[in-house]
Structure 1
């Protein structure tokens, strides 16, 4: 059984639902400990992922070693640099490696990456683990900005502070560069690090030596713009958001392209009482979110696990726990012209994931758009919704609480093709629905067109919609569903037995 990866090449016959679901069910891809990669199954997964590098000279889980293609910048005890703010981040070049060595005390430094690597000579920032397998920690509480980056952040004092206050690690062009407006950082990989603690309750020291608070809308890793950015094998925790990527229609360089989140453990994010920040919030073209573990958000936070506004999104083989929505896949709010001109905006693939969620906090999968009340022909709201197909297959969904909804599809111009999924409603769930509507403008009908294909298994007691809240659109193929009584004893084997990824559209 093969899956075609980001590069368009088959990752190999071992990459099957039968292999991956046990890993996801156990939560061991990038879960609780720093040593989980040592398991035989995880080693097999590591080998598979290394074979699917998208043509880059880097592999997602390779050892943190100098590439030999540029300068080796070493940070840590007994190394040329002892703190992150000493590294010449503003002058990194293609092929450079920044190796951060583990130490008992966290590093407390903020930095910006503006380098332009190449596929043959990427720029890499990576963690060298301890003998016990512990990742180096970068802690945003009390972190210090590098003064030499002042002009790189912005020529404006206001924006210079904003860029520092909303990120621990920032990826953007140097504002001081002559071609900053038309360029983007490229072919950069950050891997093997523990990146934590940047939120409004905490402070940092800016480039002028002044103590400042972090912004409420920010992230551990903020990507202002970039091409071929890979975040791999990191633990990212306790920030406003784990990862944020931005895209606009300003010019071709202002769209983030080919962002890849792979094998990270992302947890504990959000702002208490706020639904505006999420575990990850991505906007771009060609975004791939794969093999990650999304843990629960910060207590009291109201954001989503995965919020995305991308064209050509792939979400595969993740373990996703909680969030208002597990997946909130909505319109390209800030770069609609680019998105609408990109055919992949109409195709979204979500497959091979384990989703565990309390239904009372919100619907499980929201697809379409979230700004409403527009009019035909406008460039906001309903006219720029995804208006395509969500391909939802080979997923295991476990829903708890008192009521739960699987899909919330914005309009009848959005469709879902669902096959070979297992949906389990816990015994506590009294209202077991497949579809719900959302608020929408008068020119549209909410509810979507959901088609249930072969080999969907759903726990008994489910129904299409609430009898008290009729939903527009249509559910097709209800007669094909196999009703089950409870979670199967071996869900991974059941999905693989039903074909796994065979017959699914190839993702390129």
Structure 2
């Protein structure tokens, strides 16, 4: 019987759907005794939704690099997961003298050890629904070299352990990113990125201010439960530098850097500047430590740093329930705000200096500070340097000599039973989320007891 065009089309469609139904996700295992001895033997160019690549720990690093230019789905993400060794060691991906699979061909390979983004082979697409977890990725920096599509090349000054050139719906979890120009770099064509439980430290270039532990510009990015440690010795970059719309920094440990948080203007994608989320930044539940003799005396910079002041954030930084500790023996400023159009709402925090209270100042340069109920070291001063802004006290402050930490010398910033900061939190503004967890050293979170009164600070 001759098949009509209508039924022939239906037959082809049903057949295609049937093939899709029976197409199972694949598992690729890499490591000693596994099907793939090297990362480069994995067919990265043909990964499909639901596929998983497991990289097993081995005694020596994997000197390999690659690109992920593929799309998973919300229900079936593409996952690259490390499998720890007998003592919890993460598999190490080392960019020094790293090689790339011949079947891959991608540009900007000098920008990262692991790149998520564009490629010639596989065919270019917007990477999506990708999970990268449980890996140590290092050595994406000068003077290290690698073998790529044009033979031997060298990393660029701004290379990163993980470079997200573009991507959406990405999760970066339990990664150790170090000894690179930037630990993590996320570029402006990216959206919906979560960075959780990672350790970022020992990045940057000596003498340079332009490379950081993390450098991000994204539409919607959340940093949660991460441990940001000091940069490489002699490096002058920031710990977390961000140009995103919809930034959330919650329950992290952030120690060292020129500035701990440098939250400035979007410069690579006008859609970020135009987004309502660009005007609203949340920083809460973090431990933030200013160390002696390390970079700027400013802890948080909010606004912008380009020549285009019209593109600055000009919104509100909600800074609440953080524990900020300075061990610097001279003056520090908790906030530097770029223009009079930017505002900081500061409440529920512990702001403490281990030196004289007069070394604790709140503001410099410009902007508006709405100062709610916080604990501050006795003798604090409102401003330092040339300040052309305004401080509005909207609730009474709590002041003292010591905030009542269990053991400051060991960085145990939990509160002792007699601390004045216990159950002392102010009434929470209705338009920000309540803290529900606290950071546990390191890279872990603990739920707060339901219904318990909130303390001042991160604990």
Bin of the TM-score, shorter chain as denominator length: 0.7 to 0.9
Size of the aligned set, in residue pairs, is: 399
What does the per-residue CA deviation read over 1:169-214, in whole Å, with 9 as the maximum and x for residues that have no partner?
0001333566x3xx41001011011111121021212234x33221
CA distance in 2: counterparts of 1:333 and 1:193, whole angstroms: 31
Which structure is higher in helix share? 1
Q: Is the 8 A contact 1:403 1:429 kept in 2?
A: no
CA displacement at 1:69 relative to structure 2: 5.5
Provide closer, same or farther for how the CA distance between residues 138 and 501 of structure 1 changes in structure 2, counting only shifts above 3 A. Answer: farther
Partner of 1:171: 116
Q: What residue in structure 1 maps to residue 194 of structure 2?
A: 260
Tell me whether 1:193 sits opposite 2:127 in the alignment. Answer: no
Superposed CA offset, 1:14-49 (max 9, x none): xxxxxxxxxxxxxxxxxxxxxxxxxxxxxxxxxxxx
TM-aligned CA deviation for residue 503 of structure 1: 5.0
1:433 aligns with 2:361: yes
Rounded Cα–Cα distance in structure 2 between residues aligned with 1:187 and 1:382: 35
**Is contact 1:295–1:321 with CA below 8 Å preserved after alignment?**
yes
Alignment of 1:2-81 (within 5 A): 70-81=25-36
Higher RCO structure, 1 or 2 (CA under 8 Å, sep 6+)? 1
Match status 1:457 vs 2:391: no
* Deviations 1:475-501, CA, capped at 9 Å, x for gaps: 111872211102422454466623489
**1:328-359 per-position Cα deviation (integer Å, ceiling 9, x unaligned):** 00111111x20233111110000000001137
Shift of the 453–168 alpha-carbon distance from structure 1 to 2, 3 Å rule, reads same
Distance 1:506 1:474, change over 3 A: closer
- Name the SS of the counterpart of 1:325 in structure 2: coil
Which has more radius of gyration? 2
The question of 1:128 aligning with 2:83 is answered: yes
Which of 393, 412, 426 is the matching residue for 2:340?
412
Aligned twin of 1:298:
232
State whether structure 2 residue 144 is matched by structure 1 residue 202: yes
The separation in 2 between residues aligned to 1:215 and 1:340, in whole angstroms, is 28
CA distance 1:463–1:428, shift in 2 (3 Å): closer
Q: Which residue of structure 2 lines up, in the alignment, with residue 370 of structure 1?
A: 305
Structure richer in strand, relative to its length: 2
1:102 CA drift (Å): 0.8
1:211 to 152, 157, 160: 152
Q: Distance in 2 between matches of 1:132 and 1:502?
A: 43
Which residue is 1:333 aligned to? 267
Q: Do the aligned residues in 2 keep the contact of 1:240 with 1:277 (CA within 8 Å)?
A: yes
Pick which of 491-500 and 93-102 moved more: 491-500
Which secondary structure state, in structure 1, belongs to the residue aligned with residue 310 of structure 2?
Answer: helix
Query: Within 1, Cα distance between the matches of 2:311 and 2:197?
Result: 32
> Which sections of structure 2, spanning at least 5 residues, go unmatched?
1-22, 407-412, 435-459
The answer to whether the 8 A contact 1:265-1:294 is kept is yes
State the alpha-carbon separation in 1 of the partners of residues 132 and 152 from structure 2.
27
* SS, match of residue 246 in structure 2: coil
> In the alignment, what sits opposite 1:309?
243
The match for 1:281 is 215
Unaligned runs of 5+ in 1: 1-67, 154-159, 248-254, 373-380, 438-446
Taking only aligned residues, the RMSD between alpha carbons, in angstroms, comes to 2.0
Give, in angstroms, the shift of residue 145 of structure 1. Answer: 1.5
TM-score, structure 2 normalization: 0.83
Give yes or no for contact 1:199–1:240 (8 Å, CA) kept in 2: yes
* Residue 440 (structure 2) aligns with: none
When structure 1 is superposed on structure 2, of 295-304 and 457-466 the one drifting more is 457-466
- Supply the distance in 2 between the matched residues of 1:498 and 1:507 (Cα, whole angstroms): 18
